């Protein structure tokens, strides 16, 4: 079999960690690769929740988190640290995931060292460089640097082909978030989210918001819509996982703090959060990963954004794009709360994966390095 090749995975946020954890686990199981984990940890506590759950101990931890750091702060500290880490570790290959700052900066650091790059969850696009901000440009610039592109869906592959990416460098794998979801959703040892009152027959509405393009008045409109819904439906409890960024927290506290049926939580750990998602009557979010999780679980979901790079869930009837307009949010949420079947399509095919994405990625790396004679099968193929 030869020596095990060193493959470095780079991530810094909770969504990246969730989606990279199955890849790290598959690399560990392989006789061909030695995984090296490097984290930037711009969201320290949220990242640590995931690494603990999946038993991942980073080999390199830059710990760049600072209070109310700017995008420039993240970029400069991550670039300096990751450039040094890649140089010291000398991996044969670097894997980055998604569209966070760590994604592009990690790919750039690998490029500076002439190390080949694989992009997990490649090809997501909105065609608007400010939606989402700065993620749309992070993923576009990563695509220019990457040598292998692991697209979650055929639609993502089509986006890459339109941009001139060599089709031989693209593999449709499904999304690794589905691998992670399958790994935890039925575990009996996952504790419940602490601090929540019993529902006593009331319905659960889960909410998350964090996107920079929604900061300020758009977020305020979302939270006012939540107040409207609480007034209109006496049988709902809103559980809000509040992002640690102070810019988000100030508006949440100003609008929602003190309402007896609005429960503002520190972000729950990943396992308990998935179990909470399964109980929800409705999810409202601007998160990308939650769109995919909710689709897999069959929970009707309102996407609190003007555009989404995940049109498959909308086409399949799982998701509804509502933006940040207060009246539209209330109208669409009310429709689903009045008709519990609206938007709930459990049993339909999941367009985002089958739980084998990480397996395909590792097999593709084995093919890339000549360890196996053929590439893996594709998701949906």
Give the domains, in start order, of the chain with CATH numbers. Answer: 5-175+353-368 (3.40.50.2000), 203-338 (3.40.50.2000)
Q: What is the pLDDT at residue 342?
A: 61
Q: End-to-end CA distance of the chain: give it in Å, rounded.
A: 29
Q: Which of 311, 349, 302 is nearest to 329 (CA)?
A: 302
- Among residues 210, 211, 326, 356, which one is catalytic? 210
- Residue 104 above 50 pLDDT? yes
- Among residues 80, 203, 212, 279, which one is catalytic? 212
What is d(CA 99, CA 129) in angstroms, rounded to the nearest whole number?
Answer: 12
Mean pLDDT of 283-299: 93
> Using alpha carbons only, what angle is made at residue 135 by residues 130 and 141, rounded to the nearest 5 degrees?
100
- Among residues 135, 277, 292, 309, which one is catalytic? 135
Sign for the pseudo-dihedral over CA of 27, 29, 33, 36: positive
Q: For residue 108, report the phi and psi dihedrals to the nearest 5 degrees.
A: -65, -40
Q: In what order do the strands lie in the sheet with 262-265?
A: 262-265, 236-242, 203-209, 282-285, 301-303, 319-321
Mean pLDDT of 311-332: 93
What is d(CA 178, CA 274) in angstroms, rounded to the nearest whole number?
Answer: 11
pLDDT in tens, 121-145: 999 999 999 999 999 999 999 999 9
- Residue 344 above 60 pLDDT? no
What is d(CA 337, CA 93) in angstroms, rounded to the nearest whole number?
Answer: 48
Report residue 347's pLDDT band, with 50, 70 and 90 as the boundaries: very low
What is d(CA 147, CA 60) in angstroms, rounded to the nearest whole number?
Answer: 23
DSSP 133: T
Rg (CA), the chain: 20
| Positions of E strands within the chain | 5-11, 33-39, 60-61, 93-97, 117-122, 148-151, 170-172, 203-209, 236-242, 262-265, 282-285, 301-303, 319-321
Q: Is 99 a catalytic residue?
A: yes
Q: What is the pLDDT at residue 66?
A: 67
Name, in order, each residue with C-beta under 8 angstroms of 274's C-beta and a sequence gap of 6 or more. Answer: 181, 184, 185, 190, 293
CA torsion 109-115-121-123 (nearest 10°) is 90
Q: For residue 96, report the phi and psi dihedrals to the nearest 5 degrees.
A: -120, 160
More confident residue, 113 or 313: 113
Q: Which of 96, 141, 92 is nearest to 121 (CA)?
A: 96
- Among residues 121, 136, 179, 332, which one is catalytic? 121
What is d(CA 372, CA 218) in angstroms, rounded to the nearest whole number?
Answer: 51
- Among residues 26, 243, 306, 344, which one is catalytic? 243
Q: Is 366 a catalytic residue?
A: no
pLDDT in tens, 239-269: 999 988 888 999 999 999 999 999 999 889 8
What is d(CA 34, CA 283) in angstroms, rounded to the nearest whole number?
Answer: 39
Q: Which of 273, 210, 221 is nearest to 247 (CA)?
A: 210
Q: What is the pLDDT at residue 165?
A: 98
Q: What is the pLDDT at residue 71?
A: 87
Range in 173-177, 269-273, 281-285 the model is least confident about: 269-273
Q: Is 119 a catalytic residue?
A: no
Q: Is 259 a catalytic residue?
A: no
Total-model pTM: 0.92
Q: Which of 134, 69, 131, 128 is nearest to 105 (CA)?
A: 134
Q: Which of 199, 147, 153 is nearest to 172 (CA)?
A: 153
Contact assessment for residue 264 and residue 283, using Cβ atoms and an 8 Å cutoff: no
- Residue 67 above 80 pLDDT? no
Q: What is the pLDDT at residue 42?
A: 64
- Residue 348 above 60 pLDDT? no
DSSP 342: T
- Among residues 16, 32, 99, 286, which one is catalytic? 99
Q: Is 210 a catalytic residue?
A: yes
């Amino acid at each position: 079999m030869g020596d095990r090749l060193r493959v470095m995975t780079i991530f810094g946020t909770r969504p990246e960690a969730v989606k990279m954890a199955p890849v790290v686990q598959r690399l560990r199981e392989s006789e061909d690769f030695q995984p090296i984990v490097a984290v930037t940890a711009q969201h320290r506590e949220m990242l640590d929740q995931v690494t603990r759950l999946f038993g991942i101990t980073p080999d390199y931890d830059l710990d760049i988190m600072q209070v109310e750091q700017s995008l420039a702060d993240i970029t400069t500290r991550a670039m300096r640290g990751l450039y040094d880490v890649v140089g010291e570790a000398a991996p044969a290959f670097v894997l980055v995931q998604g569209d966070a700052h760590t994604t592009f900066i990690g790919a750039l650091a690998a490029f500076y060292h002439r190390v080949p790059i694989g992009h997990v969850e490649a090809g997501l696009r909105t065609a608007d460089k400010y939606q989402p901000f700065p993620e749309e440009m992070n993923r576009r610039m990563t695509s220019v640097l990457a040598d292998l592109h692991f697209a979650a869906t055929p639609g993502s592959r089509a986006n890459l082909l339109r941009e001139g990416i060599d089709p031989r460098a693209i593999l449709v794998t499904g999304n690794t978030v589905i691998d992670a979801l399958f790994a935890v959703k039925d575990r009996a040892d996952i504790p419940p989210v602490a601090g929540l009152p019993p529902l006593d027959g009331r319905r659960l509405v889960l909410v998350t918001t964090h996107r920079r393009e929604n900061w300020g008045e758009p977020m305020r409109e979302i939270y006012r819509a939540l107040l409207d819904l609480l007034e209109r439906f006496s049988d709902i409890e809103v559980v809000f996982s509040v992002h640690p960024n102070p810019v988000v927290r100030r508006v949440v506290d100003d609008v929602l703090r003190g309402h007896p049926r609005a429960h503002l939580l520190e972000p729950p750990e990943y396992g308990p959060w998935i179990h909470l998602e399964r109980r929800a009557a409705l999810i409202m979010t601007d998160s990308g990963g939650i769109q995919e999780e909710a689709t897999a679980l069959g929970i009707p979901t309102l996407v609190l954004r003007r555009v989404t790079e995940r049109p498959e869930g909308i086409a399949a009837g799982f998701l509804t794009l509502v933006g940040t307009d207060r009246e539209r949010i209330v109208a669409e949420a009310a429709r689903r709360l009045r008709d519990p079947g609206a938007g709930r399509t459990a049993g339909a095919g999941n367009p985002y994966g089958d739980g084998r994405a990480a397996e395909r990625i590792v097999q593709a790396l084995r093919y890339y390095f000549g360890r196996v004679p053929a590439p893996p099968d594709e998701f949906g193929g």
